[in-house]
Structure 1
Amino acid sequence: MPSEHSHSEQAKYNEEAALSIRDTSPDWAVTMCFYAALHWVEWYAKVQGDDLERQYQNYPSPHDRLLAYVFKIAKNRQYRDLNKAYQELKNASQIARYLTDIRTDSRIHYSRYKTREVDQSFDNLRIVKERLNS
C-alpha cells in the first residue's frame, strides 16, 4: 500500500509533467493536473488516517470514493472552492481523455480553442493543493 510520501511525490511529479507539456500536449497536461490532484487527495487521506476503501465502500469506483471524500472535506472545512476545483479537474480530464463533446482531436481542441480551460486546470490544481496542505 502506497505511503503518504509516495502520493505527495507522485502529485509533484504529475504537476511537473503537466507543466512540461502544457504547450505541446495541453490535453495531457489537463489530464496530468487531475492526476496530481487525485494524488494530493490520496496523500491527505493517508495523513488524516482515513481508509477510503472502508469508509466509502458503497461507492462503485475509486474515483467516486475520492469525489465523496473531497465533498466531505470541502463541507467540513467550508472550502466550496475545493470541491468545485476537484470536480472541474475530473471533468476536464474526462473530456480530454475520451473526447467527450470534442469535434476534433483533443490536442487541437485545447491548444486552439480552450487555452483558458488549460489555464483553469492549473488554477484548480493550485486550489486543491493549497486547501489540502493548509
Structure 2
Amino acid sequence: MDRLQRPQTERSPLVDFDFDRHRLHLEGESYPEDAAAFFGPLLVALDHYLVHLRAEPPASPLVVDLRLTYFNSSSAKAFMNLFQRLEAAARDGVEVQVNWHYQSDDETMMEFGEDFREDFQAARFELCVFD
C-alpha cells in the first residue's frame, strides 16, 4: 500500500500513515468543515490495512500517535470510529499501541485521552505528556 500523507492545515491535522513501518501519526487541530470527507479515506485505508495485518501479523505493533491540540465533536466521532477499528483488530490478535500525546498544561486533552482509553481493552492506550 502507498503511504497516506496529508499536510496539516488550519482546520485539519497532519496525517501520516506509513504502512510499511506500521505507524499512523495525526497531529494538530481537527475541525474540518466536512469531517466525514476528511476522515473517510483514512478509515478506508485503515480497513484495508487491517485486513492485511489480520492475515499476516507483523513482528512489530501498529503504533498510532495522536498529538492533538483541539478537535470538534465531528472529529471526536471520527476518532471513535478509528479507535473501534483498532480495538477490534487488537481483539483479533493484531498488536496495537495507541499513544495519546497532550501538553502538560492541557487538562482538557488529558481528560479526552482518559475517556478514550476507557474503551480499550485489547489494544494498549497510553497517555503521553509533552511540553
Between structure 1 and structure 2, the one with the greater Rg is: 1
TM score, norm. by length of structure 2: 0.32
Report 1 or 2 for greater relative contact order, CA contacts < 8 Å, sequence distance ≥ 6.
Answer: 1
